[in-house]
Each structure stands twice: as C-alpha cells, then as structure tokens.
Chain A
C-alpha cells in the first residue's frame, strides 16, 4: 500500500480545511485592499467547494498507529458538519459585512471545524482530547466576537472556565482509564474493560465530558448564558455543529469502545435523558429571549437524541445521525431568521416578533416551518427524526423512557406554538419593519427549508444513512 497516497486521501477533508485556513492566512498577511464583500464571497465559495469535495473519494482506513481512522460513516458525518458550516457562513454575511475582523472570524471558525474533524476521526483517547480542545478554545474566542458588548465577553469567560473545568475532569477520566487498561487506543481499551469501580468512575468522568459538550443536564448550565451572550451566528454554531460533532463521537465511543459497558451506559443515558428533556423543557417555557429559548429547547432536543443512543442497535445509530442532519436544518433555519433580524434590527425577544407575519411573510414561514420541525409535527422532517429516535428507543424496550419523551413532546409543542402564535396571530402596534434579505442569507434559508421538507419525505436519505451506520 502506498502510504503517501493514503495519507492524502484518508485525510482529504482535513487537508481541505487546512488549505482554506492557509488561503485565508495569506490573504490576511498579504494585500490590505480587499473589501469585506470579496472576502465573504471567497469564503463562501471555498466552503462550498469543501462541501462538494467531501462527497468524492470515500475510503476506509487508519493512519498513525490507529490514531486516525476514517470510514464511510465518518466521512458522511464530516459532510454534515461541512454543510452546517457552509449554511452558517452564508447566514453570517449580513452580520459581518461591516466588521473589520472578518478574516479572524473565519480563521477561528475553521480551526474549530478542523478540531472537530480530528475528534471524529480519533482512534485514540489522546487524539480525541486534542481534537476536542482544538475545537473548544477558538469557540471561546468566537463567543467573544461582539467586542463592544459586555455580555459577549461574559459568555466567553464563562465558557472558557466551565470548559477548562470539564476538560480537567475529562483528563482525569482518561488517565484513570489509561491506568486501568494500560492503553489509550480505542481497540485496545475495550479488551481490558473489567468493570471495576475505579474503571466505572473513570467512565463516568468521560461521559460527563461528553455530557458537558452536548449540554445534557446537569452539565448544561453554561449553555444559556453562553448562548445568550454570543453573537447569534456563533450561538447557532454552538448548538448545531459543536453539539453534532460531539454526538457523533459519543455514539462511536459508546457503541464500539465501551460496548462491554452496554448495560451501565444505557442506564446512565436513561437518567441523563429524562433529566435533560424535563429540565430543558421547563426552562424553555419561561424564556423571552429567542436565543435563550432556542438554547434550552436545544437542551431538550439532546434528551431525545440520547433516547436514540439507548437503542443500541444499527437503527439507533442511524436514527441519531439522521436526526442530527434534520436538527441542523431545523435549528439553522430558525437561527437564520433570528440572526438576520438581530443583525438588521437588534431585536431578539419573542414580543418583538408579534405580527411578524404582517411585515415579513417569507421569513415568518421559514421560522414557522423550522419550529414545526423542531416540535416534531408531521410532515416536516423533524417528525421523522423523532419518530426514528423513539422507534430505536422502543426497540430496546425502553417504554418508560419513550412515554416520558412523548409527554415532553407535548410540552414542547406548547412553547413552539406559542412563538408561531405570536408571529401569525398576535397584533402589534410596532412590528418589525419589512426587511430586505441579502442574497446569501436567502440562499441559506432556502437550503434549510428545502432540507426540512425533503429530508423526511425522501425515504432514501434515511436508508442511505442506515446502510452505513455502525451496528452494536
């Protein structure tokens, strides 16, 4: 086997991101007379190329003594993340149009993406940790990107502190696992799992690291403050891309490395899932700020995803990947509208959206469809996503969990519809004025709403994901 070629092909997505990073760096140090508009267009084109390139040249394999591994599923997971990043880049253009640090924004954003790619491909706990850190530290900088706002700095500060705390405990877990199994390689670890108390404790520490990143209760408390303080685009990046990537790794780690602990983690996820759904919903009900609201509702969504993971079958893993794809469309659709409105008018509260339909019917429909999808109302894709998650959970016999989930779906319906009601039915003397939608955010919204409609209805998408998912 030709090591050189493998080296290029297996890591093609990482190479692509690195190439874009270097192009942007050269622009940064080079000429100074480029307008923001040109840069934004260039970045969008590059990210589109990156996304398209991801669909070619699939190959399974390992590199660097199993440090780095890739297969069809991993390539697709990375494609989902690339797609999400592309949508976010399109959406952020109206916000960044007049920002003089536009290049830095994309440098930071792509660095986190690179970190996530390495994390997903990790075949070794050390590699995983490095990827995780590479993805979190630039994120803290990103959440501080509204330099003149105090809340933004506060968000960054809170995130970096909580993140450091979580990383510390995660590292403790990793070192305890190393101590008890004698290896950091995923394939070697699973052979040495014996179920001693120390090992289980280490395992719980590891899970808490994941739970922190996907903001499962009770490790979620940073979420609301950070989401509220960060610029909307960064918040959507947090809630979709960052969470999605960690979920992918979580899934792989539980299904392959910690397969012998199947019963234990199933119970742990049961507890986390119930807590997450209930607490997330209860908090979401009372929020007035839309960003904060979406933060908590996305906490509740994580609870549903955990149910899919407890399925512990091929259907379980397929349903999770499928849901993350749908969730990206739905959440980015909702965030897309909110970020546009926030960038153009500065309004972020639910009251501001009263009678939004009168002035901006198109945006209202996109927001409504996204919220319907998040609430899981058929025939939007969100319904299919939740359906498969619950099917996976029910397939494992977790009826109690599925019942609690179904009850929570009703509760969540209430607050999602509440916003729809404000948009369509409430009257407002001073509604948001009619907004002109620039081309690239419009493209992003079209992609999202098309995705919401088609991903569910076209059965092939799920079949395709299922065909390459990992079994248990």
Chain B
C-alpha cells in the first residue's frame, strides 16, 4: 500500500499553502504569496496528473475492470456499535478524474489571479482562501467515507462563503455570501439526515461497504432499509433523496439554485474555479459516487433526472434574458450541470446502459475546461473594460485578440459544435437520453439550441456589435499571467473531447466502447447551429456598423421591410413570448415563490418570536405559574394520555 502514500500530498500542499499564507501572509510575505500559492498548486497538479497516469495505465486495472483502491486509510474515531470513522483516500476513475480537474483548473485560476488581483490590499488573504478551497475540494473528491465527505463538503461551503464575500466592503457581496451559505446549509441539512439514515441502516460509513451492502438484494441491510418505510416511501429512497437534496444545493439545481447568480459578486477567477468548474459539480460527483445505490432505486433516480432536465431548460431560458455577462454564465452553468444530472438520472448501471453515467462524467470533464475558460475570459474583459453589463461592452475583438479567440473557442465548445470538446460529451448525454426517455431528450435538444443562442448573443455583444476606437484604451489587453491560462485552457477545450473518457470512467469500471453516430449527431449540431445563426443575425448586425454589415451580410439587407418584419418577429418572440411568457414568470417564481418561501420561514420565525415574548414578563410569580403549569401538563400527559 505504501507506494500510493504520495497521494496524500495532493491535498496537503494547498493546505500548507493556506496555513502559511493565512498565518504569515498579511504581514511578512505578502509579495510572495501569489508565488507560494502557484508553486504549491503546481506540485499538486503534477502529482495529480502522475496519479492519473499511474492509475489509468499502470495499476488501476484488474481483469479489465478499474478497481476501487483505498490508497490510504487511517482510523480516526472508533465509536459505538462497531462503527468507526476513518480518514482515507479512495481511488477510482471518478476521483482520479476529479483531482486532475480540480488541481489543474485551480492552478490556472491561481496563475490568472496573479494579474487579475494585483494591487488588492488583501492579496495574501485571497490566495489563502483559494488554497483552502482547493484543499477542501481535493479532500472531498478523495473521501473514502460519507462522514469525511460531509466534513469536506462543509469546508468547501465555508471557503466558498469566504471567497464570495471577499469584497466585504460591498453590501451586495456580503448579502450574496450569506445567501449562498444559508441556502447550501439548508440543503446540507438534507444531506446530513440522509447520511444518518444510510449509515444507520448499513451500519457503516465506508463508501465501499455501504455500496456493497445496498446493492446485493439478499443482504439483511438491504432488506431492512427497503422494508422500513416512512410516509409510505422506503427508507432507502428517503436516504438517497435527502442526500440528493444536499447535492442539489451545492450544484444549484432548481429550486435551490437561487444562490449561484448572486455568488457572482465574488472575484471573477473565483467564479471560474468554484462556481463553474469544481464546487458546483460536487452534487453531480456525490450522485456519481453513490450511483450503484441510486441505480437500484428508480424513484430517486427519476427525481434526479427530472430535477436535472428541468433545471437545464429553466436556466437556459433565463440566461437568454440576462444582461450581466457573469450572470449569463452563471445560469449557463446551472443549465449545464442540469445536463450532467439528468444524464445520471437516465443512466443504468453497467455496460452499454451506463452510457449516461459516462456521458455525465465526460461532460463534467469538458465543461470544467470551457466554462472556466469562459469565466476567465469574462474576467479579462471585465478587467479591461471595468464593466460587466452588456450595454457597456462591444467591439472588443480588435482590442483583445487573444481573449476574443479563446472566448470564441469556448462558445463553440459549449454550443456543441464539432470538433470542440463539448460536442463529444453532449453527444453521449443526448444519446443516453434518447434511448431512455424521449421527453427528456426533447428538452435537452431544445436546451442545446438555447445554449448556442445565448452564448453567441453574449459573444457578439462583447466582441462585435459596437465600434470602439483604439485610442481610447488606457492599457493593454491583459498581463501575460492572465493570457497564459486562457491559451492553455483553450488548447484543453479543443483537445479534451478526444480524451478516451469512455474507456476510463464508466459506471461499473469496465471500458465502454465509444461510438460516434453521424446520423444521430446531425440533429443536435443543427440545433446548435440554428442557435448560433439566430444570435449572429440578431446581435452582430444590430446597430452602428452598417458598412461591415453591408459587405459581410449584404444579401440579408436587401429589403429593409423584410428585416423590419423579422426583427418584429424576433422582438415578439423574445420580448413578448420568451421574456414575458416564460422568462418573466420564471423569474417571478424565482423571486416571489422560491425566495419568498425562504423569506416566509424567516418572517414566521420572527413573528412567533414576537408573539411569545409576553411570557418572559420579568415577574417571578408568573414564572412559578408556568413552572407549575409545566408539571401539571406533563403529569396529565403521562399519567392519562400515554398511560
């Protein structure tokens, strides 16, 4: 076992970096804090890649199937009926894939922040928080038991809270961090109860033995948990659904998504790391981790599928109406995570039927690259133009050539245009949905078209649309430390699709033969292209650039009447139907019902609290009266009622 022990250092390096920066950063080594963060992450990332190489090519396989390997195990708390809490490291295809993603994206963000956050007063604190987050996230994905994952889950939540509220002078950032923390804590409550239920019935906290016990139909634990019911639903379903609620909170699934758009108040690189590539997929990871158990319980799996597909569509529709570029990206993230979720939901366990699982993990992999690229690109734009409102932006493609090309690559990838990575992963998801549930497949297709539309709307609004004279710009595009991650991530976005994920990451560990069906791919690509075309037509040509429009798209301008007519249709469709008919109600539901419910909880608590304050009158004779009343009440209750 000892030859795996180096894996411990993957999470430990960021932890060291956090401790050093947290303790000494502000006073002593402020100028080196960025370097310390980057170097420790670099070591972590290299170790992760080495681990992945070792796992996938050297020791991971036995009899053609990837094994679950407990690399490190340390008994931490030994307590009552034979249950112990361990700290361990579990290696299997998904955790290996995740450590590569997390450490790599985190490294990119660390480098990018060198330029983006330069000159901030609390520079060292920023890097300390970033390292803390990376440590927690790596710990989360490597966890070998439920308790450990819960601990890291909470730590991830806290570091996210700290990073969202990093600009704590701004009241909206403080409010956003509070909202994120409270909403996810609320969801974590479900997670905690779910864990308690699963652990109670399986009498173990270990993932391996828990999955083993609940997947063998004859085991006494399985019979016990399926025969015990609460409100007519088996305890297994309760446990899984509650765990899923925890996951949905972190992954911002409807209706627990309300925190994510607000979380964009944090620094943009943080959004790239936490709210695009890593933390928000923790929910997907959690379901994938327990997937063998989920695949047995069809009710829970159905819930996963429908919550996922609804969130995908819902968020995509809202993304079309947003004007803040980071919010568009936030809703896009919700939508893409919805894809991953429903893909798990439509999957089955093992063999060809496990395509959904593979597709989901594949999409998680590619999405991490192109979404962090989009966010970092947006970061570069905001850094350059000092605004994140679409109306203030436009025409930046000549001023920011590198960012422009990188952003375009990412947009093409997310829209599912071949040969960019998003195409391959989305393909697997759509195929899985097609074979399992036609309605979800339809939703997914529609969402793909919408995705392409809003992404290109964003792209054109930032880089085309308006003309800006070059002389107005005070400074260059960005520092090298900001451009470098963009370029590296673009390369990954192009290449990630060719990674043989399907032969590595599958539901049962056995390689899955990947196949590309051209006739099947045609429709999704066509939908994506339609979205892009629509966006091109509407946003690239909209105003103030008549000469270019005339030369490039001259034929479309032949009749002003016709243009006017289509514009009206567009206006009618977007403003009247999509915006008023769907977007507004969706936003209304979001604001009044979902948010309102949370407010209602808070207000009710406060009201009841005000109502009963009279009891605390300050008069001792009243106190003794209540005391006596308590005794009489208890006596009546337990002598007569419960007798």
Footprint of B on A, CB under 8 Å? 157-158, 161-162, 165-166, 169, 197, 200-201, 204-205, 207-208, 211-212, 217-219, 221-222, 224-225, 264, 267-268, 271, 279, 282-283, 285-286, 313-315, 318, 377-379, 383, 388, 390-391, 394-395, 399, 402-403, 406-407, 409-411, 413-414, 417, 421, 424-425, 459, 462-463, 466
Contact = CB atoms under 8 A, between A and B. Distances in A.
A391 B196 contact: yes
Contacts of B80: 313-315, 318, 395, 466
16 contacts: A208-B627, A221-B626, A264-B642, A279-B612, A282-B605, A283-B613, A286-B613, A378-B155, A390-B196, A395-B81, A399-B193, A406-B189, A410-B185, A410-B186, A411-B605, A459-B85
Given A158-B623, A208-B631, A211-B630, 8 more contacts: A162-B623, A200-B639, A267-B642, A377-B158, A378-B151, A388-B79, A402-B196, A425-B168
B561 interface: no
Main SS class of interface, B? helix
A463 B78 contact: yes
Contacts of A218: 626-627, 629-630, 633
Nearest to A400: B230
B79 A200 contact: no
A454 B349 CA distance: 43
A377 B615 contact: no
- Across chains A and B, which 4 residue pairs bring their CB atoms closest together, nearest first? A459-B77, A221-B623, A218-B630, A315-B80
B620 interface: yes
Contacts of A391: 196
B438 to A, nearest CB: 38
B616 interface: yes
Given A271-B637, A395-B200, A169 B230 contact: no
B638 A200 contact: yes
B58 interface: no
Given A218-B629, A377-B158, A264 B624 contact: no
Contacts, number: 140
A237 to B, nearest CB: 21
A285 B610 CA distance: 10
A314 B631 CA distance: 29
Contact of B608 (A212, A282, A383, A410): A282
Contacts of B165: 425
A219 B639 contact: no
A138 B412 CA distance: 78
B634 A208 contact: yes
B46 interface: no
A271 B168 CA distance: 42
B623 A283 contact: no
B193 A315 contact: no
Given A394-B196, A395-B200, A414-B182, A462 B77 contact: yes
B76 interface: yes
B534 interface: no
A264 B620 contact: no
B88 to A, nearest CB: 14
A459 to B, nearest CB: 4
Contacts of B151: 378-379
Interface string B6-33: 0000000000000000000000000000
A413 B155 CA distance: 16
Contacts of A264: 638, 642
Nearest to B637: A271
Contact of A205 (B77, B613, B631): B631
Contacts of B155: 378-379
Contacts of B181: 417
B231 to A, nearest CB: 11
A378 B154 contact: yes
Nearest to B150: A378
B192 interface: yes
